[in-house]
Amino acid sequence: MIKFGTAGVPLSAADSSTEAGIRRIRELGLDAMEVEFVHGVRMKEEKARLNGRTAREENVSLSCHAPYYVNLNSKEEEKIIASKQRLIQTARTADFLGAHSIIFHPAFYSGDDPLKVFAQVLDGVAEIRRILDDEGCRVILRAETTGKPSQFGSLEETIALAAEVEGVLPCIDFSHLHARSNGLYNSYDEFCAILDKTAEKLGDQWTKNAHFHVSGIDYGLKGEKKHLILQEADLNYADLLKALKTFGIQGTVICESPNMEKDTLLLQETYRLLG
C-alpha cells in the first residue's frame, strides 16, 4: 500500500545520474525515487524521457522536488514571476519523466499576516495550475509542510490550499511538522490526528495517493536545523508507520535521511513487519 524511496540518487548507485539511481532503487528492492531539482531544473526533455522509460522498465515510481528558490510571497514581483516559472519548468520536466508529482516549498511569511500570505500563495498556485492544465500537464502540485515557523507550510495551510485548487495535494513532511512545533507531532495519536484531519478535508483523492517525507531531524525553538539519521534522532517513525497502516493510506514515503537508502530500507522493513 505504501511505496518507499529515496530523496535523490542512492549513495550506493553506480554513479550520480538519475538513470543509475533508478536502477539502484530496483536493485535495493525499493519502489520510488524523488528526482531532486532543488538547485535548478537542468534535465533536457530528451534525457527526461529516457529516464522515464528506465523508470517504467524498472517499475520505479518517480516524483520531483522543485528548486528551493521559490517564494510566492516575495516583496519583489520579479522573484514571484521567477518562482512561478521554476515550478512550471519542474512540472513540465516531471511530465516528461512520467513523474506523478512535484513537491515545493511555497513561500516565506516575511512578517506578513498569514492570511494575506495564504491568499498570495493561493493566487500563484492557481495560476500555475491553470497554465499546466491548458498544456495538458496533469502532474500534481504538492505544497510541502515546512520545518520552520517563518515559512508558509503548516499542515492547515497545505490542506486548505489543496481544498481550494484541483490538482493540488499536500506533501506531508512529518519530520518538518515535528521540528516546526519544537517536538510535538511525535506520538501514535498525534500522527493519527494528522492523517484524520487531512483525510476529512481531502478524502480519497488524498488517502489513495498520499506523499510523505520522513527523516531524522535536529530542531530548536526556530524549528528545523538539519536532517539526521533516524536512529540518531527522536522521530517516532515506528508509530508513524503504524498510523499509516491503521488508516490504510496508499501512496509514497520518501526518506530524506543523510544515509538515504539505509533509512529507507529501515522504514520499509518496519512497515512490512506491521503485518
CATH code assigned to 2-273: 3.20.20.150
Domain spans in the chain, listed from the N-terminal domain onward: 2-273
Q: What is the largest CA-CA distance in the chain?
A: 52
Does the pLDDT at position 170 exceed 80?
yes
pTM over 0.85: yes
- If DSSP codes are grouped into helix, strand and coil, which group holds residue 152? coil
- Answer for the pair 199, 210: CB distance below 8 angstroms, yes or no: no
Mean pLDDT value of segment 53-71: 97
What percent of the chain has pLDDT above 70? 100
Does the pLDDT at position 275 exceed 90?
no
Residue of 241, 220, 221 whose CA lies nearest to 230: 241
Helix axes 261-273, 237-247, angle to 10 degrees: 50
Question: pLDDT value at position 78?
Answer: 97
User: How many beta carbons lie within 10 A of that of residue 21, not counting itself?
Assistant: 28
Does the pLDDT at position 223 exceed 80?
yes
* CA 65 to centroid of chain Cα atoms: 7
Question: pLDDT value at position 138?
Answer: 97
Angle at 234 between CA 169 and CA 244, to 5 degrees: 40
DSSP helix, strand, coil percent of the chain (3-state; round to 5): 50, 20, 35
Q: Measured in Å, how far apart are the chain's first and last C-alpha atoms?
A: 12
Mean pLDDT value of segment 148-165: 97
